[in-house]
Structure 1
Amino acid sequence: MIHADLSEREAGWREQLWTRQIDDGRFEVACLPFFSYGICYRDVVTIDSNHLVSAVVQKSGHRTLRVALIADHQDRDRLHELLHGKVAETDLPHEWLQGTYLAVDLAPGADPAHLVAVLEPPAQVNALHWEIDS
């Protein structure tokens, strides 16, 4: 396990990343990062002496679709259930954090259009925010 430094957003913040060690200085990301921009599943990273990501040295071609449900929105629970079902239909690997954050792995060639079509209407009424990171 290593960490990505998120202190540019909030002092002391870090994201824990599960990895597979390739050799002494390189690690393959084995999870779906929720908050670490520019780091995706199967990317290869290096770390510093504090076990913090220092660089992405090889991109995997995977992308991460991230969704943040607005916690106090009246439709949050309904949206969670809807999104959970839609993502399960796609068979794309995904993870939920605290029931409000969703990360979906988009392998090379994966088309997120079906999910984007589901995300756009609630995004337009500020019930959620979404993005795709590579």
Structure 2
Amino acid sequence: MQDPGVGTQLREAPIIVITHEDPIGRGPSNYMIHAALSAGQDGWREQLWTRRLTEDTFEVACLPFFTYGICYRDIVTIDSNHLVNKVLRKSGHRTLRVALVADHASRDHVHERLHGKAVAAGLPHEWLRGTYLAVNLPPGTDEAPFVETLEPLAQTGALYWEIDS
């Protein structure tokens, strides 16, 4: 039996980075870091906009779409590869995440309804490709009005939602 490594070329998986087009904390001196989205070698990462506080300490300046346990204004540290390696301090902010079902018949209507809800509530939010929504819930924010809108839509199969802190 031949060794599986013999005669084959080893290739690294490409790194796939999810980016933020319009982060809520965009500023003139933002610094980009990455958060690994999966263990192993498949290379999925989310680019996080931050404000540099020290050489390896940063304040998150965006709403993570897929990175769990990190929210707006949390303080994080990075490793030598600019990957988040630790959350030093939680800000108290939470992230309401919504994933619209792309092929749902009322997707565009649901998008407009949720966008209007976030604007009317004065809640900073970010969209990714018109399908993923992240809404900032500052400390003390009551999410009930948003949940009342989301729950019936989730029951019809139009979206999935969660709140991360």
- Structure 1 stretches of 4+ with a deviation exceeding 4 A read none
Q: 2:132 aligns with which of 86, 90, 101?
A: 101
Larger Rg: 2
Once residues 45 and 71 of structure 2 are traced to their aligned partners in structure 1, the CA distance between those partners, rounded to angstroms, is 16
Once residues 88 and 127 of structure 2 are traced to their aligned partners in structure 1, the CA distance between those partners, rounded to angstroms, is 27
Segments of 5+ residues of structure 1 without an aligned counterpart are none
The alpha-carbon distance between structure 1 residues 60 and 120, as it changes in their structure 2 partners (threshold 3 A), is same
Once residues 39 and 127 of structure 2 are traced to their aligned partners in structure 1, the CA distance between those partners, rounded to angstroms, is 23
Q: 2:81 aligns with which of 50, 53, 75?
A: 50
Percent same amino acid among aligned pairs? 69
Q: 2:50 aligns with which of 16, 19, 26?
A: 19
Once residues 123 and 130 of structure 2 are traced to their aligned partners in structure 1, the CA distance between those partners, rounded to angstroms, is 18
1:126 and 2:157 correspond: yes
Task: Give the aligned length.
Answer: 134
Once residues 119 and 41 of structure 2 are traced to their aligned partners in structure 1, the CA distance between those partners, rounded to angstroms, is 33
Segments of 5+ residues of structure 2 without an aligned counterpart are 1-31
Once residues 8 and 75 of structure 1 are traced to their aligned partners in structure 2, the CA distance between those partners, rounded to angstroms, is 35
Once residues 9 and 30 of structure 1 are traced to their aligned partners in structure 2, the CA distance between those partners, rounded to angstroms, is 27
The alpha-carbon distance between structure 1 residues 110 and 9, as it changes in their structure 2 partners (threshold 3 A), is farther
Aligned-partner SS, 1:11? coil
TM-score by length of 2: 0.79
Aligned-partner SS, 1:18? strand
- Equivalent AA in structure 2 for residue 98 of structure 1: R
1:40 and 2:40 correspond: no
Larger RCO of the pair (alpha carbons < 8 Å, separation 6+): 1
Say what the alpha-carbon RMSD is for the aligned residues: 1.2
TM-score by length of 1: 0.97
